[in-house]
Amino acid sequence: MEHQSPKAILVVSFGTSYEASRKATIEKIEQDIADAFPDYRIYHAWTSKFIISVLKKRDGISIPTVCEAIEQMIHDGIRTLIVQPTHILDGIENNVMKEAVLSHKDSFDQIAFGAPLLATPDDETHAIAAVTSEFKNLKKTDALVLMGHGTTHQINTTYSELDRHFKSLGHSNVFIGTVEADPTIHDLVKEVTEFHPTAIYLTPFMIVAGDHAHHDMAGDSPDSWVGQFHVAGFEVCPVIKGLGEYTGIRAIFIDHIKKAISMLH
């Protein structure tokens, strides 16, 4: 019985209250990981206590926090632990998660962490391929605008690097901004206007298509990204689809787990 083996992969996500997006993204990532690593028991945890409590109250679904998942694994006799976040960057959320895991390190023989989605220039190249193949029917004159989350952590510069990386690979019609940091929607409107697109496609550069995608990006408010581009005189088509739905993005997480496993002694 392979599941008797005392080794596990803990998949850590921020979480989402949107059921359809959860099933199409987080649960799909977890399923792909389970399929790729049959010798490992798969556990999951979310880092947003707020979203965990929403699901519990509204849907009667219990999702563990990182510490609860670790306590369960200790109880189950897991000795080797691989932790794979579905976070985009190694920012505040990821660092807090690592601290929570490492506070239990004495209960395991070994622990290895898989990198978040964008840890190396190679990851960026793979992510760009995943996004551009998803939008392969985009005309050269259409603009694809990606909405990242953004963070106060210095790693936020990754978004600007990724924007340059898209353009260096010949995708001059792809633009990235963030909801909560730089580049802002105002920067984007200016940049996209200079590109003179025939149409604009807006999509989240986030694992799930949750509140930010539905409200900040595609909402009816004039402050939403759709609203801002409308004001600037553009035709806008929002595509509400999280990155977790892209096969190529899920493959990056699988690759990061393989690298983490190879680091174990």
CA distance 165 to 131: 13
Options 44, 87, 149, 212, the catalytic residue: 149
CA distance 119 to 105: 23
Q: Hey, which residues does 148 pair with through a beta bridge?
A: 178
CA distance 71 to 65: 10
Instruction: Give the chain's largest Cα–Cα span.
Output: 61
Q: Do residues 134 and 209 touch, judged by C-beta distance below 8 A?
A: no
What lies within 8 Å, CB to CB, of 15 at 6+ separation is 22, 26, 46, 47, 48, 51, 52, 55, 63
CA–centroid distance for 8 within its chain: 21
Residue 149 annotated among the catalytic residues of the structure = yes
Q: Hey, which residues does 7 pair with through a beta bridge?
A: 80
Mind telling me the catalytic residues? Answer: 149
